[in-house]
Amino acid sequence: MALNLKNITRTMVSRGHEVKIVAPTGSAIAGLPIQEIAGALQPLIPEPTYHDPVLMPEDAVVAHMWDYIREVEQDYDLIVDFGYEWLPFYLSPFYSGRYCTMFALAPGMQLWTRRSTGWLSYVPAHWGPTPKPRLKPMLWRILSAF
């Protein structure tokens, strides 16, 4: 994930976009603009299965990152979420700006996809490549949970 984030950010900046990454404290990548947020990391499951429970630690950094995003969302044209946790997916209808996310298919995600008719759209990976949009330079906020 860090390599993807680094490559995407550098490419966007080279094309004239302003990008800022929001990530847990200690996630700095040399040369990239990062807003570090303190808090407890999500516990990692070494080989997650479809039915593994969704865990939310006390003082969760994911929750703190989304609190921060809510405070600054009006300053950015797009929020991109590279995390696979459920909280941003749940919160996205409550944000006023444009929001894009990637998520893993799990029981919790299926619940929200069923409840999100009308505002949620997605492209399954098996559909193949999608057309590449031509974007004008704009401000971007990248949210990362690595």
**What is this structure's pTM?**
0.64
Q: What percent of the chain has pLDDT over 90?
A: 7
Tens digit of each residue's pLDDT (9 = 90 or more) over 52-94: 776 778 998 988 988 898 898 888 888 887 766 666 666 767 7
Give the C-alpha separation, 122 to 102, whole Å: 9
Residue 49 clears pLDDT 90, i.e. is over it? no
Q: Is 140 exposed, middle or buried (0-12, 13-18, 19+ CB in 10 A)?
A: buried
Q: What is the pLDDT of residue 68?
A: 92
Name the token pair of 137. Answer: 């330079």
pLDDT band at 121 (very low <50, low <70, confident <90, very high): very low
Q: What is the pLDDT of residue 135?
A: 43
CA-CA distances (angstroms) from residue 56 to 6, 16, 28, 39, 44? 27, 37, 23, 12, 11
DSSP one-letter string for 68-126: HHHHHGGG-SEEEE----HHHHHHGGG--S-EEE-----HHHHHHHHHTTTT-----GG
Mean pLDDT for 1-25 is 85
Q: Is 112 exposed, middle or buried (0-12, 13-18, 19+ CB in 10 A)?
A: middle
Name the token pair of 141. Answer: 């906020």
Residue 127 clears pLDDT 50, i.e. is over it? no
Name the token pair of 146. Answer: 């690595």
Q: Encode burial over 21-45: b for 16+ CB neighbours within 10 A, e otherwise.
A: bbbbeebebeebebeebebeebeee
Name the token pair of 86. Answer: 């459920």
